[in-house]
């Protein structure tokens, strides 16, 4: 891989094996992303944009088996064919995730501070006391007001925007090299969307992370990404700098 390339995907194909037969949501996709870069992955619902990022990392719904082929090299490590233990060690530590619905991703029965601290304990080997201090620092980093009080709250006590900030704090707890954000602003109002996107860009700059931004929102693509991959029917229909793809798209479909 070229220097500073964090993720290099070549001819990625994903077959999902379900009780109703096999389907191929991703068919021969290739792309790469460098450190500090934001790559937007866009496409209509069902185009394969989420599956192509989650399947190689073993993140699929219960009851769905993914058969992944091709090559997915993360930071020099081939993920296709890697053991579940090796991939599990990367998830959360070297690769962080922000999911579309933080209320579903967060544990409703555990306080916010404990959920963040657990990431620091598990991935960084911190003591409970050190991990709690780390959780407080992370809430400050994601610009949550009165962070000490928020540590003691449960997810249902927070607004949607605050829950998404908590989700970001969990995702960056171990300072990952790659952050995958799946529709991170879809459930938020326009003002909060803008705040979250600015926050993500600021954190990305501080940590020099690569970021994959999965979205169907043209405004998000135009304002946040460096390059874009357009997915259509499981294939990579177009790839290029944001300005070029938005102004002079080669593919006839419009993904929004």
Residues 160-178 have a mean pLDDT of 95
pLDDT at 70 over 90: yes
Name the residue with higher pLDDT: 111 or 105: 111
Confidence label for 46 from pLDDT (cuts 50, 70 and 90): confident
Q: Using alpha carbons, list the distances in angstroms from residue 210 to 20, 108, 192, 248.
A: 36, 30, 23, 25
pLDDT at 19 over 90: no
In whole angstroms, what is the distance from residue 11 CA to residue 29 CA? 5
Phi, psi of 119 (to 5 degrees): -65, -40
**What is the model's pLDDT at position 1?**
52
In whole angstroms, what is the distance from residue 166 CA to residue 159 CA? 11
pLDDT in tens, 113-127: 999 999 999 999 999
**What is the model's pLDDT at position 255?**
47
- The CA angle 125-131-132, to the nearest 5 degrees, is 165
Question: What is the per-residue DSSP string for 183-227?
Answer: STTTTS-HHHHHHHHHHHHHHHHHHT-EEEEEE--HHHHHHH-SE
Could you tell me the end-to-end alpha-carbon distance of the chain, in angstroms, rounded to an integer?
32
pLDDT at 256 over 50: no
Query: What is the share, in percent, of the chain residues with pLDDT greater than 90?
Result: 75
**What is the model's pLDDT at position 251?**
65
Determine which of 54-58, 97-101, 153-157 has the lowest per-residue pLDDT on average: 97-101
pLDDT at 143 over 90: yes
Q: Are residues 176 and 94 in contact, defined by beta-carbon separation less than 8 angstroms?
A: yes
In whole angstroms, what is the distance from residue 91 CA to residue 68 CA? 17
Of the candidates 179, 249, 246, 247, the one whose C-alpha atom is nearest the C-alpha of residue 217 is 246
Sheet holding 178-182, edge to edge: 95-98, 178-182, 210-215, 38-42, 227-232, 235-241
**What is the model's pLDDT at position 32?**
96
């Amino acid at each position: 891989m070229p220097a500073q390339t964090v993720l290099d995907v070549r001819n990625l194909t994903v077959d999902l094996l379900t009780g109703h037969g096999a389907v191929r949501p991703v068919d021969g996709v290739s792309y790469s992303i460098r450190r500090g870069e934001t790559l937007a992955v866009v496409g209509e619902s069902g185009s394969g944009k989420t599956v192509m990022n989650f399947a190689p990392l073993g993140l699929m719904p219960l009851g769905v088996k993914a058969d992944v082929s091709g090559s997915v090299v993360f930071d020099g490590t081939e993920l296709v064919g890697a053991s579940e233990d090796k991939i599990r060690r990367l998830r959360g530590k070297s690769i962080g995730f922000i999911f579309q619905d933080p209320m579903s991703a967060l544990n409703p029965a555990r306080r916010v501070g404990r959920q963040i601290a657990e990431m620091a304990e598990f991935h960084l080997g911190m003591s409970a006391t050190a991990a709690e201090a780390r959780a407080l620092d992370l809430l400050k980093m994601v610009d949550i007001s009165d962070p000490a009080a928020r540590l003691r709250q449960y997810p249902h006590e927070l607004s949607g925007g605050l829950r998404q900030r908590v989700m970001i704090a969990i995702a960056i707890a171990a300072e990952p090299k790659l952050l995958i954000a799946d529709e991170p602003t879809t459930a938020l109002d326009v003002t909060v969307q803008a705040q979250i996107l600015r926050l993500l860009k600021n954190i990305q700059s501080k940590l020099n992370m690569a970021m994959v931004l999965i979205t169907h929102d043209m405004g998000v693509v135009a304002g946040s990404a460096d390059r874009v991959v357009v997915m259509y029917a499981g294939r990579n229909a177009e790839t290029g700098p944001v300005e070029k793809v938005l102004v002079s798209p080669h593919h006839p479909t419009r993904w929004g």
